Amino acid sequence: MEFIRQIERIQLLNKLVKEQRTGSPENLAKRLGVSRARLYLMLEELRDYGAKIKFSKKLNSFEYQDCKEIDLRFSVKVLKEQESILISAGKK
């Protein structure tokens, strides 16, 4: 379930950045339930996908640059055996 928790963290991070109400890095890390170092790794991962994020001292918040938000989509689907075979090219 840690994977789902990580998705929830990223979704909350996106929401707070979009609304420009993250607070300080320390407060944001605490709110997400991660260390400050982990928070910066999460931000770097988003940057790797092309999101431009900076911290505004004036707003005391992280904010997106050149975009309003990022579109996050996650789905989970239970595959039947035949679907699994098709995806893995017939290998089990």
Q: How many helices (H) and strands (E) does the chain have?
A: 4, 2
Cα dist from 91 to 2, 28, 77, 82, whole Å: 28, 44, 19, 11
pTM as predicted: 0.76
Beta strand extents in 7-90 (DSSP E only): 52-56, 61-65
52-67 tens-digit pLDDT: 999 999 999 999 998 8
Assign a CATH topology to domain 1-92: Arc Repressor Mutant, subunit A (1.10.10)
Least confident stretch, 39-43, 71-75, 86-90: 86-90
Structure tokens at 5: 């928790």
